[in-house]
Amino acid sequence: MGYSIKRECLQMILEASKEHYPMEFAALLSAKNKVIDELVLIPGTVAGDAHAIFHMWNAPVDFSIVGTVHSHPSHSARPSDADLAFFSDNGPVHIITAMPFDTDSWRAYDAGGNRITLQLVDRGLPNSVQF
């Protein structure tokens, strides 16, 4: 079974991406029973219009962290070479949001940069919509 994401967590990601525009937004993803349900914000994160930098040594020791999320202030949710290098060392699930930061403009990737499907769930119950 793959990972899924709670609809309210995805909405929080999309809203944070909009709020940070034109800068990038970045956070870690936390999951329980393979359901991503929480964002972990890292102190000292530096956001720019083409980057978001956080130092993993500032991250809490939290074994529920399964990956990362960040926004692209463009219409592309494709990972850059820097994204791919970062993915490989930081968990099995990575989300990129893109303009206009809606439910159609985000993508999920594995640690190798391959597209994966995250099922949207409401209150822990699967929904028929998959991305």
Domains along the chain with CATH numbers: 4-120 (3.40.140.10)
Q: Which is catalytic among the residues 8, 15, 19, 24?
A: 24
Per-residue confidence (pLDDT) for residue 45, from 0 to 100? 74
**Res 131 pLDDT > 60:** no
**Cβ proximity of 124 and 35 under 8 Å:** yes
**Mean pLDDT of all residues in 86-103:** 95
Nearest-10 Cα torsion for 80, 39, 129, 24: -30
What's the burial of 104, exposed, middle or buried (CB within 10 Å: 0-12/13-18/19+)? Answer: exposed
**Cβ proximity of 47 and 26 under 8 Å:** yes
Residue 93 makes CB contacts below 8 A (sequence gap 6+) with: 3, 29, 31, 36, 66, 67, 108, 109, 110, 116, 118
pLDDT, tens digit, for every residue of 40-59? 998 767 777 777 777 776 67
Per-residue confidence (pLDDT) for residue 62, from 0 to 100? 85
Per-residue confidence (pLDDT) for residue 125, from 0 to 100? 53
State the average pLDDT for the chain. Answer: 89
**Mean pLDDT of all residues in 7-21:** 97
**Mean pLDDT of all residues in 6-35:** 96
**CA 100 – CA 4 distance, rounded (Å):** 22
The verdict on pTM exceeding 0.85 is yes
DSSP assigned state of 58: G
pLDDT, tens digit, for every residue of 104-129? 999 999 999 999 999 999 965 554 44
Q: Token pair of 20, please?
A: 């940070």
Is-catalytic flag, 19?
A: no
